[in-house]
Amino acid sequence: MIQVAPSILSADFARLGPACDAMMAAGADLLHFDVMDGVFVPNISFGIPVLKDLNAYTDAPIDVHLMITEPHRYIAQFAENGADYITIHVEAESDVPGTLRAIADHGAVPSISIKPGTPPQAIFPYLTQVGMVLIMSVEPGFGGQSFMPSAIEKAKVLRAECDRLGLWDMLIEVDGGINLTTGRQMTEAGANVLVAGSALFKAQDPAAMITALKAE
Ligand code: DX5
Ligand code: ZN
């Protein structure tokens, strides 16, 4: 099954709740919530207070993508304020296993991400600790960039390694430049969670687009 996660970075923040409702009504599975600190990435987005209010507003699962340095300092707050999935970057954390454990201990699904310049092998040691991996198909920091095809091979390598380890339920998420063409390339390579920001929020008919993204 393919899941679609609209990236709310592309939403109108003055109308965030209804924008999320519209995406869920259009068939989305979870809301992708991009947290940027201006240090790990050259942009600042939103954080815990916005998550708290969004979680109180919607029943949708929330997929928190932490593009911040030292994410271990904030795991408890994100988990307690509504994160269902918490993704950290392997490049951002010195104690990756400890931080993934903290995510699980706080009741969220741990997930680990790689930037375009990081090989998939960098996260092999953590696969048994996570329920999801996130392949960045753009440099993190901004919506609306073009998909980097190097993500396709990474999905194949990660899916093969998960299969070898018997991790049949692993979610492989891809984030950045996803549209109908690149989404299909990624699902054929083994990804099963498609993040889409600008493509979905600019779509004339988001429901039709989500249906097409989910078609196997
Ligand atoms: C980029 C973010 C993405 C971004 C994707 O750093 O992690 O989630 O919103 O946006 P699109 O789909 O427009 O590339
Ligand atoms: Zn993201």
pLDDT of 27 above 90: yes
Catalytic residue among 12, 29, 34, 163: 34
At residue 209, the pLDDT reads 98
Query: For 80-98, how does the pLDDT look when each residue is reduced to its tens digit (9 = 90+)?
Result: 999 999 999 999 988 999 9
* 107 exposure class (CB count in 10 Å sphere: 0-12, 13-18, 19+): exposed
Q: State what percent of residues in the chain have pLDDT above 70.
A: 100
* Ligand 1, pocket residues at CB < 6 Å: 7, 9-10, 32, 34, 65, 138, 140-145, 175-178, 195-199
Q: Ligand 1, residues 195, 201, 202, 213: which to mutate, most atoms within 8 A of Cβ?
A: 195
Atom of ligand 1 nearest to the CA of 145: 14
CA distance 10 to 148: 19
DSSP-derived pairing of the beta strands 85-89 and 62-67: parallel
Q: Ligand 1, residues 30, 34, 62: which to mutate, most atoms within 8 A of Cβ?
A: 34
How many distinct helices (H) and strands (E) make up the chain? 8, 8
* Residue 89 near residue 111 (C-beta atoms within 8 A): no
At residue 110, the pLDDT reads 98
Ligand 2 centre to CA of 195 (Å) is 7
* Residue 210 near residue 200 (C-beta atoms within 8 A): yes
Query: For 139-152, how does the pLDDT look when each residue is reduced to its tens digit (9 = 90+)?
Result: 999 999 999 999 99
Average pLDDT over residues 18-36: 98
Q: Read off the tokens for 107.
A: 């009741």
Q: Mark whether 34 is an active-site residue.
A: yes
**Ligand whose nearest atom lies closest to the CA of 85:** 2
Ligand 1 centre to CA of 166 (Å) is 30
Ligand 2 centre to CA of 140 (Å) is 7
Closest residue to atom 4 of ligand 1, CA basis:
143
Catalytic residue among 29, 37, 63, 175: 175
At residue 216, the pLDDT reads 85
Query: For 106-139, how does the pLDDT look when each residue is reduced to its tens digit (9 = 90+)?
Result: 999 999 999 999 999 999 999 999 999 999 999 9
